[in-house]
Amino acid sequence: MIDFFIMIARFFAALWRSIKREPQARAVFIFVIIMLLSGTVFFAEVEHWSWIDALWYCVLTLATVGTGDFVPHTVYGKIFTIIYIFMGIGAFVAAARIIAQHAMDQAEESPFDKIRQKFGKKKDA
C-alpha cells in the first residue's frame, strides 16, 4: 500500500516539475483542463447529466477508457463528442507523455546528486 502512495507522490511531483519548467507543458495542461471543463458543462447542460457524471464521462473519453455507462443521446451531444474526442485525445496523450518524461528523468537522478552538486564533488570522484 505504501508503494501506491509513493507512486502517487512521484506522479504529482513530476506533474508539478513539468508545469514549473516547461511553458509547452503548461499550455498542454491548461488545454486539457479547458477541455475537461467545457465538456463537463456541455454534457451537464445538453445531456442533462449531473456535473460529476459529465466530468466522469469527459475523463473516461479523453483517457480512451470508455466504460459505456454514459452515452450521449442527443444529436448535438453526439456531434460534440466526435469533435471532443479528436481534439481531446491528442492533448491528453501529450500531457501523459510530458508527465512520463519528467517521471523518468526523476527516476534517473540519484538522491545524492544534489548533495554532490552542493559540495562540488563529481559523480565519478
Which contacts (CB < 8 Å, 24+ apart) does range 15-21 have? Answer: 15/99, 15/102, 17/102, 17/106, 18/98, 18/99, 18/101, 18/102, 21/102
Q: What is the mean pLDDT of the chain?
A: 82
Asked whether the predicted pLDDT for residue 108 surpasses 70, the reply is: no
Report the C-alpha gap between 11 and 8 in whole angstroms.
Answer: 5
CA angle 53, 60, 20 (to 5 degrees): 105
Distances in Å between the Cα of 22 and the Cα atoms of 53, 101, 109, 114, 118 are 32, 12, 19, 21, 24
CB-side neighbour CA atoms (13 Å) of 1: 0
Report the distance separating Cα 98 and Cα 41, nearest Å: 27
Summarised one tens digit per residue, pLDDT across range 49-91 is: 999 999 999 999 888 887 778 899 999 999 999 999 998 888 8
DSSP assignment letter at 125: -
Q: For residue range 9-60, what is the model confidence (pLDDT) as tens digits?
A: 877 877 787 788 778 888 888 888 999 999 999 999 999 999 999 999 999 9
Measured distance CA(90)–CA(96) in Å, rounded? 10
Sequence spans of domains, the chain: 23-118
> How crowded is residue 87: how many other Cβ atoms within 10 Å of its Cβ?
15
For domain 23-118, the CATH class is mainly alpha
